[in-house]
């Protein structure tokens, strides 16, 4: 379904899901999601920011990627099922295409693998932005969703 609903962009929260189910929000919040109890905690945090849109990266549904990124699929599935079963009227999901969210600076948009200093640390080689790597990726996902919303063509899931 395509809609042209006017949306306040401060209502979008980007979610970066790591390989082992570690999650970072564009708000700076981080945790590991293992079960539905953890998802409830995560959404309490999201609802605290009066957010009604979550942005996730769209991942391939092939067997190899599912095996390698098992934690990602478990967390992504838990989040999607929780939204659809409990928060369907309150929160929408926007999927953005996979891109270089983990190696792109959210501030200056410069892409460089060298900026990912450690698995948890991102220091931009262009502007010097120093931030948690997962939060940086979540901010990039949020920005991509906002751009998609601004284009006016959204496929609500």
Q: Where are the domains of the chain?
A: 2-155
Alpha-carbon span 36 to 32, nearest angstrom: 11
pLDDT recorded at residue 73: 67
Q: Where are the alpha helices (DSSP H) in the chain?
A: 36-48, 63-68, 70-86, 133-151
Numbers of helices and strands, H then E, in the chain: 4, 10
Cα 88-2-55 angle, rounded to 5 deg: 50
For residue 100, report the phi and psi dihedrals to the nearest 5 degrees: -85, 50
What b/e readout covers 74-107, taking b as 16+ CB neighbours within 10 angstroms? Answer: bbbebbbebbeeebeeebbbbbbeeeebbbbbbe
Q: Is the dihedral of CA 118, 119, 123, 124 positive or negative?
A: positive
Beta-bridge mates of residue 104: 111
- Residue 10: its pLDDT value, please? 57
Q: What percent of the chain has pLDDT over 70?
A: 76
What is the Cα–Cα distance from 6 to 86, expressed in whole angstroms?
A: 24
Reported as a single tens digit per residue, the pLDDT across 66-81 is 554 556 667 777 887 7
pLDDT tens-digit profile of 127-138? Answer: 999 999 999 999
pTM of the complete model beyond 0.75: yes
pLDDT at 63 over 70: no
Q: Among 21-35, 51-65, 101-115, where is mean pLDDT lowest?
A: 51-65
Given this model, what pLDDT does residue 89 score?
62
Say which residue, 22 or 122, is predicted with more confidence: 122
Residue 51: the pLDDT is: 81
pLDDT number for residue 150: 86
What CATH architecture is 2-155? 2-Layer Sandwich (3.30)
Query: What percentage of the chain carries pLDDT values higher than 90?
Result: 27
Dist CA 137 CA 29 (whole Å): 12
- pLDDT tens column, 85-118: 766 667 788 888 878 888 999 999 999 999 998 8
pLDDT surpassing 90 at residue 35: no
State the average pLDDT over residues 37-47: 84
């Amino acid at each position: 379904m395509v809609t042209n609903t006017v949306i306040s962009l401060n209502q979008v929260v980007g979610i970066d899901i790591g390989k082992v189910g570690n999650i970072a929000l564009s708000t700076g919040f981080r945790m590991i999601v293992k079960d539905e109890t953890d998802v409830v905690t995560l959404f309490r945090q999201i609802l605290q920011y009066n957010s009604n849109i979550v942005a996730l990266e769209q991942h391939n549904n092939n067997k190899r990627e599912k095996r390698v990124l098992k934690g990602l699929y478990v967390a992504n599935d838990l989040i999607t099922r929780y939204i659809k079963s409990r928060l369907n009227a309150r929160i929408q999901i926007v999927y953005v295409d996979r891109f270089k969210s983990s190696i792109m600076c959210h501030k200056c948009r410069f892409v460089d693998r060298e900026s990912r200093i450690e698995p948890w640390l991102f220091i931009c080689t262009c502007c010097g932005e120093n931030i948690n790597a997962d939060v940086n990726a979540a901010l990039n996902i949020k920005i991509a969703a906002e751009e998609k919303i601004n284009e006016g063509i959204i496929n609500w899931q």
